[in-house]
Amino acid sequence: MKISTKGRYALRVMVDLGLHNTGDWIRLKDIATRQNISEKYLEAIVKTLVTNSLLEGKRGKNGGYRLLRKPAEYTVWDIISVTETGELAPVACLEEGAETCPMRNECPTISMWQDFGNVEREYFSKITIQDLLDKAAGKAAANPKADPAETALYISQLSACL
Amino acid sequence: MKISTKGRYALRVMVDLGLHNTGDWIRLKDIATRQNISEKYLEAIVKTLVTNSLLEGKRGKNGGYRLLRKPAEYTVWDIISVTETGELAPVACLEEGAETCPMRNECPTISMWQDFGNVEREYFSKITIQDLLDKAAGKAAANPKADPAETALYISQLSACL
DNA sequence: CAATTAACCCAGTATGTCAATAGGTTTTTC
DNA sequence: GAAAAACCTATTGACATACTGGGTTAATTG
């Protein structure tokens, strides 16, 4: 019943990229520093985001990553559905390649698990990265800092506790 | 995002006891045999159900376990909330004894996780053990067996794929 | 009262996933 | 051609989960 670190980190990357969505390429090193996450570990996570066409990477000097769409066009479900490794189905017999349970037609709980999977999907599909950015901005405004520079730093690190 | 085996087994025990809810004491050995689960492993699971007052056990000859309330008075949430070991909170910072995150007031996602936890709880609180028994009976009726004895056996094992 | 039965208790293991690390290769820019 | 950064492969350590084994206590029964 826990969301994995991988999924949370992926969200943090997306929010970080949303906060620095200038069109320029953002280095993974910078994201890792801001988010205080191991760069090496982030590599694997970002890779799945790239292969699932959630963002694009560019190699070489001045390379990095950037969003492919607008923050409002990513749902939270988009991200966690590709990063949650052990598949999202709440029980094993609903997984993709699972061999069909011999008692599936009579199982009293299968529909409960299926429905719950749908509830999960619907809930997280209604929240977009833009919503999280708005929430961050709103909270930042509600907690004003004396120094504008401090505010900027603060906002750039806001997704640290995702 | 997976429910643990422990939680599913606990549900199977409760449904099994509901199917044999005669007032007599049901031996764990019989439940384990019907459900094809290791009796030893079930011990630990049943223990938490007893300590949480979901069922009662009686020692000695002719002892066993039985429900304390009617099947309609147990919600699925009642069961999985005590058996899901790693606590039910979708993220660590929402756990019971978790040290409060220093950025909690500014965290853009904490409310998303909190709300999702509530969605989970509400969903599983609306489903009772009686609902699962009804579902089982309905499916049994929809898949009639030639032999009445076979039907009885079949119903008694219905929760096998929980 | 003694034998049997079944819940109860405590300790240990094995497997597997998750989180993280390490080192190297390719691509691009300047 | 040197530097920078994404990309690739593999391995490790820690921890939880699922499961096993052996023994103790309490209740029934002949």
Q: What is the DSSP track for B81-124?
A: HHH-TT-S-SSGGGSTTPPPPTTTTT-SSHHHHHHHHHHHHHHH
Nearest-angstrom CA–CA distance, A64 and A57: 6
Q: Do B109 and A162 touch (CB under 8 A)?
A: yes
> Does any CB of chain B come closer than 8 Å to the CB of residue A153?
no
What is d(CA A65, CA A20) in angstroms, rounded to the nearest whole number?
A: 11
Give the pLDDT confidence score for residue A160 in this predicted structure. Answer: 40
Q: Is the CB of B40 under 7 A from strand D?
A: yes
Judge whether B140 is closer than 8 Å to chain A, CB to CB: yes
Q: Coil, helix or strand for A155? A: helix
Average pLDDT over residues A126-138: 94
- Taken in order B133, A92, B66, B150, is the CA torsion positive or negative? positive
B43 touches strand C (CB under 7 A): yes
To the question of pTM greater than 0.85 for the whole model, the response is: yes
Distance CA B36, CA B32 (A): 6
Is A144 near strand C, with its CB below 7 A from some atom of it? no
Please tell me whether any atom of strand C lies within 7 Å of the Cβ of A97. no
Task: Give Cβ neighbours of residue B141 (< 8 Å, ≥ 6 apart).
Answer: none
User: Among all strands, which nt has the closest C1' to A30 (CA)?
Assistant: D5
Strand C and B61 CB separated by under 7 Å: yes
Q: Please provide residue A145's backbone torsions phi and psi, each rounded to the nearest 5 degrees.
A: -105, 150
Residue B67's H or E segment, with its range, is strand B64-67
Residue with structure tokens 């699925």?
B76
> H-type helices in chain A, by residue range?
5-19, 28-35, 39-51, 76-83, 110-125, 129-142, 148-156
The confidence band for A158, taking pLDDT boundaries of 50, 70 and 90, is: very low
Q: What is the pLDDT of residues B97-131, one digit of tens each?
A: 655 666 677 778 888 988 999 999 999 999 999 99
Q: Which of A108, A18, A120 is nearest to A71 (CA)?
A: A18
Q: Are A85 and A6 in contact (CB under 8 A)?
A: yes
Quickly give B22 CA vs D12 C1' distance in Å.
54
Task: Give B147's Cβ-side CA count (13 Å radius).
Answer: 4
What does the alpha-carbon distance between residue A130 and residue A132 come to, in Å, rounded to a whole number?
5
Q: Using the CA of A55, give the nucleotide whose C1' is nearest.
A: D6
Pairing of strands A64-67, A55-58: antiparallel
Measured in angstroms, the CA of B145 and the nearest CA of chain A are apart by 12
Q: Residues B67-105: pLDDT tens digits?
A: 999 999 999 999 999 998 666 678 877 776 655 666 677
Nucleotide nearest residue B4, measured CA to C1': D17
Q: Which nucleotide, over all strands, has the C1' atom closest to the CA of B25?
A: C6
Instruction: Give the Cα separation of B127 and B46 in Å (integer).
Output: 21
State the nearest residue by CA to the C1' of C30.
A61
A66 in helix, strand or coil? strand
Which nucleotides of strand C are protein-proximal, with an atom < 7 A from a CB?
Answer: 3-11, 17-23, 26-30
Give the integer Cα–Cα distance in Å for B21 and B60. Answer: 20
- Which tens digits make up the pLDDT trace of A37-52? 999 999 999 999 999 9
B91 touches chain A (CB under 8 A): yes
Q: End-to-end alpha-carbon separation of chain A, Å?
A: 17
Q: pLDDT-based confidence at B156, cuts 50/70/90?
A: very low
Over the range A54-68, which residues count as b (16 or more CB within 10 Å of their CB) and which as e? bbeeeeeeeebbbbe
Please compute, for residue B53, the number of CA atoms within 13 A of its CA located in the half-sphere on the CB side.
1
| Facing residue for A3 by CB, picked from B1, B84, B160 | B1
